[in-house]
A and B are shown apart, each in its own frame.
Chain A
């Protein structure tokens, strides 16, 4: 009876053990097939982001049609998003059900989170170098750039933990769109490089009112001199320019420091006067700029077609527009001699599948997004720049840049100036370290600005104790207190965190079982000896 019981205990323990192993197994790592099997049909999904811009949608659709003409055995299904955050949320949801897209527009910060699943995202280095299907590969049916023809810094941005997990698709930066007419009306001359001191001073000056309560500068009831679309970028760029802490390559959170305190106090001061607001609090900077209700509007260069008196795209009716001269400048700086601005823009990653041929089909399509025709066409839709030297140096792209102001759509001057701004300052761009949690840190950086701005508008006191509490609240809200230290990408102990309770229980049972077995064997041996 005892032996039967023991056997049962063993059987149960082994069954637990095996079921545990089965549940934790992910996809096999992708291995490049020797050849692409063209005798089979493949259906792949491509989740793409557009800036609510029908030209971009059409470019995607044309790219898919052209690619399918080259590879008739590959069908690409397009799903469009207008928001990176929504793509991120949907991918996270779909990872758990193994229903991720094959090819996905994304940000490296997001990929860092996707990588917490084993072999979820395909590392691309071996694919880049593959003689047949790699960048510039011999068996490709399209003219792909070689790795040397990729802009090195843009490609470098796709490296996570020493491996490329994405290819850049488009690059942009942030720009300050300025109502130059207003700046000069206020008696100032626009400097070559904007400084924070200049922005704050002019913004405060723009708040002067007439006796009837309207603003002297525009004669209207509304004036928010300085609006920033992305407060996370605002904080990140300010900290970078100040050479202050944000995070480091080890994934340590350095955001909550004295420089951040100092910056928040300054921002609070100007939010309190009404000189500064944010997109989340007030609305799109472009709407205020074009209506003559804003002097400095900071937004992505990928939002350039919405900026200016003659912006081709707009959310406000034409009768609300006013006439002014629009200037496109680098984001304000603390040290104009050493400007720093963020590099951003969509990248493309590939999700793994059980079938390596399907992954290879995905890679072929992803790589097709780097071809000249597509790169140049998409870059022209907004203030983007192509990510390959091949496209940037092409006659077609150079002609596009030279035709600035030829019309008010394709050659819209504000848009081309925005692209040129990045082309001229690629060496002044930076990116932040990528790790599991870096997307949350980015959100937290913006939240600090949003909160102080809201608080002063609500007549709350923003002082040192307020900021201390804010740091604690934001750190807790974004679980930054749980990141700390190296948040590496590979599935290691730190990422897995504490063992789940069920695992602890199982291991405890195993230990107890072994103790009982030893005890039983010992007991039997002693008993036999006595007999």
Chain B
């Protein structure tokens, strides 16, 4: 009898554990009541209040109780600019953390973002895979992926001109006016078209692997990249990793 009871208990535990693991696996597109779907967010007018749920993908900066964060759900991405956030809460915003954000939809130089926002941390976790947007470079549809974690594959590093007119693989700041620690700008081409990529120093500072990798780039080198599809007067990807093309 004891053996049967033990077996029954073990079986129940296994079943309950399986049930738990099922509920923990979030549907990143699912929304709580009163929260917009990504489609509804896209349709919302600029300067209107929006309430979204998303998962932190990367933190860009924190200063004076304001955080700037890339977040994403199963359908699209959000750039949360200068969101009210204590330093303690900023520490809790790790990759995958689910948050509910209330703020205003806004646009700055082409970048659609949520500003004047507040947030609360929710249960759940999701890390978005990089969407391969290589084929969309130079096309209008690319904007549909704005702020998403994206991959660019098989591009060739092109020369930029530094302050002295020399050909270099990257520049500190867009025109070469900066120095180590500033944003890195570099160009890479695909099918005869050249695009500009940035290592944003707040998102990835000079201690990061990507910063070192870009400084080590050579003109003509073939590379794969990942990063966030930021927008500034056109697409301006903020790169988080660079590797030799596979």
Contacts and interface: CB of A to CB of B under 8 A. Distances in A.
Interface of A: 50, 52-54, 56-58, 78-80, 82, 89, 281-284, 287, 313, 315-317, 454, 457-459
Given A54-B177, A79-B179, A80-B182, 7 more contacts: A54-B173, A56-B177, A57-B177, A281-B106, A283-B108, A283-B233, A454-B104
A316 B177 CA distance: 18
B176 to A, nearest CB: 5
B48 A458 contact: yes
A50 B233 contact: no
B195 interface: no
Interface of B: 47-49, 63, 104, 106, 108-109, 116, 163, 173-179, 182, 232-234
B203 to A, nearest CB: 16
Contacts of A78: 179
A458 B174 CA distance: 34
B109 A284 contact: yes
Contact of B234 (A58, A79, A317, A457): A317
Contact of B163 (A54, A282, A284, A457): A54
25 contacts: A52-B173, A52-B174, A52-B178, A53-B177, A54-B163, A54-B173, A58-B163, A80-B177, A80-B178, A80-B179, A82-B178, A82-B182, A281-B106, A281-B108, A282-B109, A283-B109, A284-B109, A287-B109, A287-B233, A315-B232, A315-B233, A454-B47, A454-B104, A454-B116, A458-B104
Contacts of A281: 106, 108
B232 to A, nearest CB: 7
A470 to B, nearest CB: 14
Contacts, number: 57
Greatest chain B CB density within 10 A among A50, A54, A313 is at: A54
Given A287-B233, A317-B234, A50 B116 contact: no
Contacts of A58: 163
B163 A57 contact: yes
A82 B233 contact: no
B108 A54 contact: no
A457 B177 contact: no
Contacts of A82: 173, 177-178, 182
Contacts of A54: 163, 173, 175-177
A137 to B, nearest CB: 32
Given A317-B234, A454-B116, A50 B177 contact: yes
B177 A52 contact: yes
A54 B234 CA distance: 23
Contacts of B104: 454, 458
Contact of A316 (B47, B49, B233): B233
Contacts of A57: 163, 176-179
A526 B63 CA distance: 65
A476 to B, nearest CB: 14
B47 A457 contact: yes
A78 B181 CA distance: 13
B244 to A, nearest CB: 30
Contacts of B63: 89
Contacts of A313: 175
B175 to A, nearest CB: 5
B24 to A, nearest CB: 38
A53 B174 CA distance: 9
B175 A53 contact: yes
Contacts of B182: 80, 82
A461 to B, nearest CB: 15
B218 to A, nearest CB: 22
A6 B50 CA distance: 67
Nearest to A51: B177
Nearest to A53: B177
The 9 closest A-B pairs by CB, nearest first: A283-B109, A54-B177, A54-B163, A457-B47, A57-B177, A54-B175, A458-B47, A54-B176, A316-B233
A315 B232 CA distance: 9
Contacts of A283: 108-109, 233
Nearest to A288: B109
A52 B63 CA distance: 22
A287 B48 CA distance: 25
